[in-house]
Amino acid sequence: MRSRRRMDNKRISDFIRGYAAEEDELLQRIRSECESAGVPLIRPETAMFLRTVTALVRPHLVLELGTAAGYSAICMAGSFEGIERIDTLEDWEPRYAIAEANIKEAGLTDRISLIKGDASETMKSLTGPYDMVFIDAAKGQYPDYLKEAMRLTAAGSVIIADNILMDGEIIESRYLVERRDRTIHKRIREFLDDITGDDRLVTSLIPVGDGITFSVRER
């Protein structure tokens, strides 16, 4: 019997990325600029998953928390032409300006509504219901985002959250995590307990990119 080789996560990620559809010039430029400037951006394999889910769910109204440079919103809008509106929230002025320019260049200002403000506070003014919610903002606020996401969704809605593995740190004791990351570690653990323990949701933790939760609301 052959011994099993220990999987190298980077090699696996590189292998998966090799099958990603080629992005258009705008998305390639956004990714390149974000990586050079250290701006947070979903990983290529996460982008693949997000496109696939968007095409499957075929949402009409989408809420995104954490616009950054507009990459994810543009990806979703391009995956299903039936999306009527993506409300995407960003509170940091420099990123807001970059996202605004990128969305305009993509010709999607009629379908992507860029809203400036803190996600936790701004969500309270929204009404929904949203068919899909993508959470990719301040990790320490994930439990709060989930509470508002439940208010803003209905049966059949999908909720996706990114970066739940914290580059692997989430499996460690909080005392083995750098002190500056301990609060985030605690809050992500709290979020995972909340989202998997809510009987209104069917949730899976998927090791794509930096890890995502994928939840379907049953009621």
The percentage of the chain sitting over the pLDDT mark of 70, rounded to a whole number, equals 95
pLDDT for the residue numbered 205: 98
pLDDT over 80 at 176, yes or no: no
Compute the average pLDDT of residues 204-218. 97
Distance CA 1, CA 74 (A): 48
Pick from 87, 94, 151, 97: nearest CA to 119: 87
Phi-psi region of 39 (alpha: psi -120 to 50; beta: other; left: phi over 0): beta
pLDDT for the residue numbered 169: 85
pLDDT for the residue numbered 142: 98
Q: What is the pLDDT of residues 73-96, one digit of tens each?
A: 999 999 999 999 999 999 999 999
Compute the average pLDDT of residues 179-192. 89
- Give the chain's mean pLDDT: 93
The class that CATH gives domain 9-217 is alpha beta
Residue 166 · residue 210 · CB < 8 Å: yes
Compute the average pLDDT of residues 18-25. 86
Q: What is the pLDDT of residues 159-171, one digit of tens each?
A: 999 999 988 788 7
pLDDT for the residue numbered 165: 93
pLDDT for the residue numbered 8: 67
- Label residue 97 by pLDDT band (50, 70, 90): very high
Beta bridge mates, 201: 217
Pick from 28, 40, 27: nearest CA to 68: 40
pLDDT over 50 at 2, yes or no: no
pLDDT for the residue numbered 5: 54
pLDDT over 80 at 217, yes or no: yes
CB-based contacts of 63, cutoff 8 Å, min separation 6: 86, 87, 88, 89, 123, 126, 128, 130, 132, 133, 134, 149, 152
The percentage of the chain sitting over the pLDDT mark of 90, rounded to a whole number, equals 79
pLDDT over 70 at 3, yes or no: no
Each domain of the chain, given as residue ranges in start order, spans: 9-217
pLDDT over 90 at 180, yes or no: no
- Label residue 138 by pLDDT band (50, 70, 90): very high
